[in-house]
Amino acid sequence: MFENKSYGTVLPLPANNETSYFDESWTEDDLKQIIRKMNLKVTPQRILILQTLHEGRVHITAQELYEKVQKINSDVGFATVYRFLKGMAESRVVTELRMGSMPTRYELTPKKHHDHMTCTDCGKIVEFQNKNIEDLQEKVARQYGFKLTHHVLELYGICTSCQMKK
Amino acid sequence: MFENKSYGTVLPLPANNETSYFDESWTEDDLKQIIRKMNLKVTPQRILILQTLHEGRVHITAQELYEKVQKINSDVGFATVYRFLKGMAESRVVTELRMGSMPTRYELTPKKHHDHMTCTDCGKIVEFQNKNIEDLQEKVARQYGFKLTHHVLELYGICTSCQMKK
DNA sequence: CTAGAAATGATAATCATTTTCAATTAGAAA
DNA sequence: TTTCTAATTGAAAATGATTATCATTTCTAG
Ligand SMILES: [Mn+2]
Ligand SMILES: [Mn+2]
Ligand SMILES: [Zn+2]
Ligand SMILES: [Zn+2]
What CA–CA distance (Å, rounded) separates A54 from A20?
7
pLDDT computed for residue B92 by the predictor = 96
Pairs of CB atoms within 8 A across A/B: 113
Domain chopping of chain B, boundaries: 1-15+111-166, 22-109
Q: How far apart are CA B58 and CA A114, in angstroms?
A: 30
How far is residue B131's CA from residue B114's CA, in Å, rounded to a whole number? 10
Inspect the interface and report whether the beta carbons of B151 and A154 lie closer than 8 Å.
yes
Q: How far is CA A49 from the centre of its chain?
A: 14
Contact: B149, A141; criterion CB under 8 Å:
no
Spans of chain B below 50 pLDDT: 1-20
- Smallest Cβ distance to A130: which of B6, B136, B158? B136
Residue B22 has what pLDDT?
59
B146–A119 CB contact, under 8 Å: yes
Mutate to test the interface with B, among A96, A140, A146 (most CBs of B within 10 A): A146
Q: Give the pTM.
A: 0.86
C-alpha distances out from residue B109 to B49, B53, B92, B127, B145, Å: 15, 11, 7, 13, 28
* Topology annotation, domain B22-109: Arc Repressor Mutant, subunit A (1.10.10)
Question: What is the per-residue pLDDT across A56-77, written as a single tens digit (0 to 9) for each?
Answer: 878 999 999 999 999 999 889 9
Tell me whether residues A163 and B150 touch, CB distance under 8 A: no
Q: How many CB atoms lie within 10 A of CB B8?
A: 24
Q: Is A160 on the interface with B (CB under 8 A)?
A: yes
Q: Which of the listed CATH numbers 3.30.750.24, 3.60.20.10, 3.30.1490.190, 1.10.10.10 matches domain A1-15+111-166?
A: 3.30.1490.190
In sequence order, what are the residues at sequence separation of 6 or more whose Cβ sits closer than 8 angstroms to the Cβ of residue A123?
A2, A11, A12, A13
B80 touches strand D (CB under 7 A): yes
Distances (CA, A) of A139 to A135, A146, B6, B139: 6, 10, 17, 19
Per-residue pLDDT band at A46 (split at 50, 70, 90): very high
The pLDDT score that the predictor gives to residue A24 is: 78
User: What is the share, in percent, of chain A residues with pLDDT greater than 90?
Assistant: 77
Per-residue pLDDT reduced to its tens digit, A115-164: 999 999 888 999 999 999 999 999 999 999 999 999 999 999 999 999 99
**Measured CA A29 to C1' D13 distance, in angstroms:** 50
Q: Round to whole Å and give the CA distance between B113 and B94.
A: 12
Q: State how far the Cα of B50 lies from the Cα of B87, in Å rounded to an integer.
A: 12
- Provide CB contacts within 8 A for B121, sequence distance 6+: B158, B159, B162, B165
**Contact B141/A at CB under 8 A:** yes
